[in-house]
Amino acid sequence: MIDTLSQSGRAAALASDGPMILDALPHPVLLVAPDGVIESANMAAEIFMRSSVSVLRRHPISEFVPFGSPLLTLIDQVRERSAPINEYKVDIGTPRIGAPKVVDINASPVADRPGAVVLMFQERTMAEKIDRQLTSRGAARTVTGLAAMLAHEIKNPLSGIRGAAQLIEQSVPSEDRALTRLIMDETDRIVKLVDRMEVFSDERPIEREPVNIHVVLDHVKRLADTGFGRNKRIVETYDPSLPPVFANKDQLIQVFLNLIKNACEAIGDDPDGEIKISTAFRPGVRLSVPGTDEKVSLPLEFCVEDNGTGVPDDLLPHLFEPFITTKTNGSGLGLALVAKIIGDHGGVIDCSSQRQKTVFRILMPAFSETVQPLDRKQ
């Protein structure tokens, strides 16, 4: 949790000294006058509202939120009770400030300004990323146990079935050999599925080193251009000053191959289909490590975006869980493995999707010669 100023402190700062004192806060903070007009805002609020403070001051708060928004009711309740109120998971997104915008809201009265209200918004994006990641890891642990059982209880009998089919193939008429070949092909397919699941039970320490993410992405792009991504438009937006990530290069290649292959399948044969790969440095994101008081910074952001059909809303919260897939013949293990690899590296992965804009966003720790992120096999 990020420590914030007290209710009276925030109100006094905005009311008397303006937004400068609060510009260090990562959360948008607004001062709404008794007549509903925005009186002041910090820097984070300007970014959130997509307007400068000089523009914000000329308009009431009602012009920046949807008609009948719970935020307006919340402001009225604070004025009536003269007491702070918190509201959670409020969507205040509009075309003006971007949609959707789901936030937790803290609304507080100003002690010496009757009718004035201080609003602080806390976007739920990062909290939900972490919640989804923990859910995915829990599901991956289930697959770990299942994989160990399958390896012993299924692969051995399958070997016998395949061997028997090979023997039968030698003694049956040619018109029946298609059936024995079918048995062997399907047996091989099941073995491959079990092999993919066995990856989840690999608990060996990860061999890591400083990795230039752009070398990884260039390698993956070359593989895509010569295979599944042939004739697909792939746009790169890289931050050339990005520090190295402390990771296993081969596993990162596996992650981005999976994500870019999924993006290629999402855009299909659409002539306007496009995949965007971007890297950026995002300071300020810190994640608590379970079992310790230490917090790990996740400043490296890697995104894979496509303008395909998008992910159905009902699948989006479960996308990184095993056996969840939108593909007709998919196993639902690809993204679960991606989530496991990123989680084992101490990172977070999330997906946001709407029609013609699906973004897979990865946040990871940077390499440091003095302090290395903890291996997190959970």
Q: What is the CATH number of the domain that holds 57?
A: 3.30.450.20
Q: Tell me how many helices (H) and strands (E) the chain has.
A: 10, 14
- The domain boundary residue, chosen from 178, 201, 224: 201
Report whether the peptide linkage leading into residue 100 is cis, meaning its omega lies within 30 degrees of zero. Answer: yes
For the chain, 378 residues long, the average pLDDT of each consecutive 10-residue run is: 43 47 75 90 84 85 83 90 83 68 85 89 64 53 55 70 86 83 82 64 73 94 86 92 90 91 89 92 62 65 91 78 58 75 85 86 80 46
Q: Residues 31, 172: one domain?
A: no
Query: Which DSSP state fits 60?
Result: B
Q: What is the rounded CA–CA span in Å between residue 200 and residue 213? A: 24
Q: What is the pLDDT of residue 144?
A: 54
Range of the domain at 106: 7-123
pLDDT at 221: 92
Counting the structural domains of the chain, the total is 3
Q: Which of 123, 158, 193 is the last residue of a domain?
A: 123
| Whether residue 222 sits in one domain with residue 353 | yes
Same domain assignment for residues 280 and 147: no
What's the pLDDT score for residue 153?
63
- Residues 215, 336: one domain? yes
Residue 62 sits in the same domain as residue 182: no
**349 DSSP β-pair partners:** 362
240/270 same-domain check: yes
- Which amino acid is residue 95, in one-letter code? P
**Start-to-end Cα distance in the chain:** 22
Prediction pTM value: 0.53
